[in-house]
């Protein structure tokens, strides 16, 4: 049982959560609605407003030196975030049909969402199931991304297109 | 704004004034919906447009 020294929420971190050395997490409240596995690397900052809403099969892997400033991560699949990546305010990373209606009955529910290293996800962007963001890519504020963003590219808009 | 039975509105979507969303329609995450959505249709994007699966 790990409890955060500064935590206002009266619960320890769930056993399924691993927080790396020197990483800051605002509260165990981030996992209030999580039933999955979360691994956060060393030297990360996970700030107020970030919520992990994972199903029992869901897993999230966050690298080292990442900053997440209040994102909602909702999946029953896998989400991976590479080292040095920055995720801004109110970003949604979700493949769950409760948050993100599938296009049709044929579309699979859970699909992995992968974010590379040193990527920058702008405020209020939405990353949908099956999305892959390459290393050093930039996703503009409010962009809605479905699919692959090449390494080093900048995408903006809804649907997101290379700028 | 009227949203029909069994419709599905994604996270962060905005449905604007006077829009009629048909029964069973799906509105994608972050979509900005300015026009009526037919029953059973899926719309995405800004401005929201009908997509097929």
ipTM entry: 0.87
A159 cis-preceded (ω within 30 degrees of 0) = yes
Beta strand A37-40 pairing with A59-62: parallel
| Size (chain B), residues | 53
Distance from CA of B47 to the nearest CA of A (A): 8
pLDDT in tens, B2-38: 999 999 999 999 999 999 999 999 999 999 999 999 9
DSSP-assigned states of every residue in A28-42: GGGGTT--SEEEE-T
pTM of the entire structure? 0.92
* Cβ-nearest to A100 among B11, B32, B46: B11
pLDDT tens for each residue of A102-118:
776 656 556 799 999 99
For residue A70, the 8-state DSSP code is S
pLDDT at A7 over 80: yes
In chain A, which residues have their Cβ closer than 8 Å to the Cβ of B32?
158
CB distance A94 to A125 below 8 Å? no
Name the 3-class secondary structure at A29.
helix
**Assigned token pair, A11:** 């619960």
A109 touches B: beta carbon within 8 Å: no
């Amino acid at each position: 049982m790990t409890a955060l020294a500064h935590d206002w929420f009266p619960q320890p971190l769930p056993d399924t959560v691993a927080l790396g050395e020197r990483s800051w997490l605002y509260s165990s409240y981030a996992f209030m609605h999580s039933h999955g596995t979360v691994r956060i690397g060393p030297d990360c900052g996970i700030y107020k407003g970030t919520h992990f809403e994972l199903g029992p099969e869901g897993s999230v892997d966050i690298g080292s030196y990442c900053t997440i400033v209040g994102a909602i991560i909702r999946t029953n699949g896998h989400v991976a975030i590479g080292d040095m990546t920055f995720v801004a305010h109110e970003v949604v990373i979700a493949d769950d049909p409760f948050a993100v209606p599938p296009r049709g009955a044929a579309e699979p529910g859970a699909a992995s969402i992968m974010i590379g290293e040193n990527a920058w996800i702008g405020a209020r962007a939405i990353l949908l199931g099956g999305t892959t963001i390459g290393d050093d890519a930039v996703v503009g504020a409010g962009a809605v991304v479905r699919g692959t963003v090449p390494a080093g590219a900048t995408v903006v808009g809804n649907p997101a297109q290379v700028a | 704004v009227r949203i029909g039975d069994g419709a599905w509105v994604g996270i962060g979507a905005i449905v604007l004034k006077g829009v009629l969303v048909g029964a069973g329609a799906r509105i994608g995450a972050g979509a900005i919906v300015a026009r009526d959505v037919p029953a059973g249709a899926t719309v995405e994007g800004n401005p929201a447009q009908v997509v097929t699966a």
